[in-house]
Structure 1
Amino acid sequence: MFFVRTASERDLEQIRALLVETWHATYDTFYGAEKVDELTARWHSVEALKARLRRENAEFVVADSGSEIAGMGFAAMSDALEKTVILHQLYVLPKYQRQGVGRDMFAELETCFPDAEHMRVEVEPQNLHALAFYRAHGFSEVASTAHCGGEQSGIPALVLEKRLS
């Protein structure tokens, strides 16, 4: 059984390993292992994760069994969109997917931003499992981008949005 809690610096190595494993399992078929290595080195380094921990108006959670971290999620209020929270990351180790871990982390993140009226997420168009997850949780497509995560990544994404109550 996993419980959702706020991440801390002591979790960062496990979170990085989780992200590397999950990204390879998800994105190697789309982009190749070399590109995934490049992206995870840049986006999921311990230093990048530390910056997320320190970010204001943000929440960084993990799903923890006490001996293992099965998932992680990170969301932050948008600097550009009023009353909108951006779900930057929601990843679950492949062996724990479809067991409610992502649902539980998502439910926690939804409640962390009481002033937000919308939540947005960018999803790779070929990632059908993620698209199905978000649509089942009330998201719908509002836009697309050629640079998921910004930084001129060259990674396409659908932009999904959900109204928060």
Structure 2
Amino acid sequence: MFFVRTASERDLEKVRALLVETWHATYDSFYGVDKVDKLTARWHSVDALRARLQKKNAEFVVADNGREIAGMGFAAMSDTRPKTVILHQLYVLPKFQRQGIGRDMFAELETCFPDADRMRLEVEPENLHALAFYRAHGFSEVGTTPNCGDEQSGIPALILEKHLVR
């Protein structure tokens, strides 16, 4: 059984490995191995993860069973949108998907921001599993972006949003 807890410095190497594996399993067919390697090196380095861990008004969680980490999630209050939390990452290792781990991490992240009235995220339009997950959890499409994650990514994404009930 996996428990959702706040991530710590000692988790960062395992989280990095989880993200690299999950990203290759999910995105190689969309972007190719080389682009995924470049993105994971930039976005999922231990230093990048450490910066997320130290970010104010944010929550970084892992799903842990005492032996391994099966999933991770990161959300933070928006710097530009009032009362909006941005779900930046929610990933589960492929071998543990469809076991409720993503649901449990999402439920935890949803409750960590009492001042937020909405949650927003970006998702690859071709990632049908992620789209189905987010739609099942109350998200709907509110826009698009040509650069998911950062202004240089060149990765188009749908922008989804959910109103948080308090």
TM-score normalized with structure 1 length: 0.99
Partner of 1:28: 28
Post-superposition Cα deviations, 1:146-165, rounded to whole Å, max 9, x if no partner, equal: 00012321001000000001
**AA in 1 matched with 2:129:** H
The separation in 2 between residues aligned to 1:154 and 1:82, in whole angstroms, is 27
Post-superposition Cα deviations, 1:88-126, rounded to whole Å, max 9, x if no partner, equal: 000000000000000000000000000000000100000
Please give the secondary structure, in 2, of the residue aligned with 1:81: coil
Partner of 1:124: 124
Gaps of 5+ in 1: none
The separation in 2 between residues aligned to 1:120 and 1:152, in whole angstroms, is 20
Please give the secondary structure, in 1, of the residue aligned with 2:102: helix
- Give the percent of matched residue pairs that are identical in Structure 1 and Structure 2: 82
TM-score normalized with structure 2 length: 0.99
Partner of 2:115: 115
Alignment of 1:41-56 (within 5 A): 41-56=41-56
The separation in 2 between residues aligned to 1:88 and 1:157, in whole angstroms, is 13
Please give the secondary structure, in 2, of the residue aligned with 1:4: strand
The separation in 2 between residues aligned to 1:71 and 1:128, in whole angstroms, is 19
Alignment of 1:3-14 (within 5 A): 3-14=3-14
Alignment of 1:1-165 (within 5 A): 1-165=1-165
The separation in 2 between residues aligned to 1:18 and 1:149, in whole angstroms, is 18
Please give the secondary structure, in 2, of the residue aligned with 1:98: coil
Please give the secondary structure, in 2, of the residue aligned with 1:119: strand
**AA in 2 matched with 1:159:** I
Post-superposition Cα deviations, 1:67-89, rounded to whole Å, max 9, x if no partner, equal: 00000000000001010000000
Task: Tell me how many residue pairs correspond in the alignment.
Answer: 165
The separation in 1 between residues aligned to 2:156 and 2:126, in whole angstroms, is 9
Please give the secondary structure, in 1, of the residue aligned with 2:23: helix
Please give the secondary structure, in 1, of the residue aligned with 2:73: strand
**AA in 2 matched with 1:14:** K
The separation in 2 between residues aligned to 1:157 and 1:107, in whole angstroms, is 23
How far did residue 57 of structure 1 move?
Answer: 0.1
- Greater shift, 142-151 or 101-110, is seen at 142-151
